Amino acid sequence: GENVEQHPSTLSVQEGDSAVIKCTYSDSASNYFPWYKQELGKGPQLIIDIRSNVGEKKDQRIAVTLNKTAKHFSLHITETQPEDSAVYFCAASGPRDTGKLIFGQGTTLQVKP
Amino acid sequence: EPEVTQTPSHQVTQMGQEVILRCVPISNHLYFYWYRQILGQKVEFLVSFYNNEISEKSEIFDDQFSVERPDGSNFTLKIRSTKLEDSAMYFCASNPRGGGTTDTQYFGPGTRLTVL
């Protein structure tokens, strides 16, 4: 069935260090992979996304890489800041053409000042 | 910047009661979604809605759930007879064009439903 696995579940880094969160997906028909940041009491906010025809995308301190063969994609945050502390979710599009997203379990990132 | 809005922010209800959660998607978007998130767990897809009909639904979205776009701006989720396990945060999302090009989904702030 459709599934997205996300690791680690918690991640603690020192301010200025890099953070990496990894996801794997099960359905080879998935072609869109967004990353969302969720702060306490708020809805998920898109931070970056990647489509299947691209292997890497970068936006300032945030980058995402995609390996379609291995069905892996990763979020990289460089020069982390305390305000990066939040729960991060990866997601993959479902196989049907409806825009459905399948989410990973989430990673709680703590950036220590 | 346009955003998805949801009301109420928190709904408390008794088991067996009907609830309606309301959403106003971004105005020029065409696909609408409901997701739920049980406390501490992943966000789960419930239903997608396009052109005034359901385009896909999950196993969670059983006969107790229904969706409606009653007036061209609101998008509602109704739970006919709530159960304790329906307690969760419910998120509405909208998408400018939906599948195919898989454009970005924008999420609302959520409604926290508590069933007692």
B102 with A51: Cβ contact below 8 A: yes
Question: With bands split at pLDDT 50, 70 and 90, how would you rate the model's confidence at B100?
Answer: low
- Chain B, nearest residue to A48 by Cα: B104
B98 with A43: Cβ contact below 8 A: no
Has residue A110 got a pLDDT over 60?
yes
Q: Which of A88, A105, A84, A95 is nearest to A4 (CA)?
A: A105
Q: Across residues A104-110, what is the average pLDDT?
A: 96
- A17-43: pLDDT as tens digits: 999 999 999 999 898 999 999 998 888
Q: Which of A12, A87, A89 is nearest to A48 (CA)?
A: A89
A103 with B42: Cβ contact below 8 A: yes
Tell me the chain B residues in contact with residue A103 when contact means C-beta distances shorter than 8 Å: 35, 42-45
Query: Could you give the CA distance from residue A82 to residue B50 in angstroms, rounded to a whole number?
Result: 40
pLDDT confidence of residue B104: 83
C-alpha triplet B12, B13, B17: angle, nearest 5°: 160
- A68-92: pLDDT as tens digits: 999 999 999 999 999 999 999 999 9
Residues B10 and B109: beta-carbon distance below 8 Å: no
Query: Could you give the CA distance from residue B20 to residue A86 in angstroms, rounded to a whole number?
Result: 30
* B43, B99, B110 member nearest A97 (Cβ): B99
Beta strands in A1-113 (DSSP E): 4-7, 10-14, 19-25, 32-38, 45-51, 56-59, 62-67, 72-77, 86-93, 101-103, 107-112
Name which of B102, B104, B107, B112 to mutate to probe chain A: the one with the most chain A Cβ atoms within 10 A of its Cβ. Answer: B102
List of residues 6+ apart from B7 with CB closer than 8 A: B22, B111
* B48, B102, B107 member nearest A43 (Cβ): B107
Residues A35 and A64: beta-carbon distance below 8 Å: yes
Query: Could you give the CA distance from residue B113 to residue A36 in angstroms, rounded to a whole number?
Result: 22
Has residue B1 got a pLDDT over 80?
no
